[in-house]
Amino acid sequence: MSTDFVEGEVYFRLTYPGPSLNYPLIETFVFVGKNLSDEDKEDTWYFQFADSYAESGSVVGSSGGDRRVVCASAKDVSDMVDEGELHDKLIAARNRRAKRGSRMR
């Protein structure tokens, strides 16, 4: 996963409940910038929840409104994927489920 995100573009946080990686959970975000706070001690990527971005605009350079943001460290930013990576990971999960299903018959 590249950490070269484009400001204003949509990214998805893909997580899985449990070790099987069969059932993905997806959250949608807009990338708003990197190292935006003087308090960032290490590289930090800022992703605003897509609904917040759509309703209130970017958290960068503005105030007011419900602007919910997730900060990701270098360790966590790999959970953020673009639509191409999301598609590939969803297909992989589907294939894992299908493979598991064929063993259960």
Give residue-wise pLDDT tens across range 40-96. Answer: 999 999 999 999 999 888 998 776 666 789 999 999 999 999 999 999 999 999 999
Asked whether 52 and 68 are in contact (CB, 8 A), the reply is yes
> What is the chain written as a DSSP string?
------TT-EEEEEE-SSTT--S-EEEEEEEEEES-STT-SS--EEEEEHHHHHHH--STT--SS---EEEE-TTTGGGEE-HHHHHHHHHHHHHHHHHHHHHH-
pTM of the model: 0.84
For residue 56, the model assigns a pLDDT of 87
